[in-house]
């Protein structure tokens, strides 16, 4: 499931917290593979399915 949950596919880059800087998500400078709406729709489905187990 790590691949499906990677925000890079919708153009976002996740930056982990480092020292005193909080984690954040930045917009990438490249063409996305899927729309942001589709990405978050899939994330919602994953959460629902995960809660059913």
- Domain-located, residue 20: yes
pLDDT value at residue 49: 83
pLDDT value at residue 52: 72
- The count of domains in the chain is 1
pLDDT value at residue 28: 86
At which residue do the structure tokens 């489905």 appear? 45
pTM of the predicted structure, to 2 decimals? 0.69
**Does position 37 have pLDDT exceeding 90, yes or no?**
yes
- Domain-located, residue 2: no
Q: How many angstroms separate the Cα of 50 from the Cα of each of 2, 44, 46, 47?
A: 13, 10, 6, 5
**Does position 19 have pLDDT exceeding 90, yes or no?**
yes
Using CA atoms, how far apart are residues 47 and 53, in angstroms rounded to an integer?
10
- Domain-located, residue 38: yes
Domain of 40 in residue numbering reads as 7-52
- Domain-located, residue 16: yes
Phi and psi for 18 in degrees, rounded to 5?
A: -145, 125
Using CA atoms, how far apart are residues 53 and 46, in angstroms rounded to an integer?
11
Phi and psi for 46 in degrees, rounded to 5?
A: -60, -40
């Amino acid at each position: 499931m790590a691949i499906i949950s990677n925000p890079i596919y919708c153009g976002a880059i996740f930056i982990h917290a480092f020292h005193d800087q909080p984690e954040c998500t930045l917009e990438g400078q490249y063409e996305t593979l899927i729309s942001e709406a589709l990405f978050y729709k899939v994330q919602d489905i994953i959460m629902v399915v995960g809660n059913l187990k």
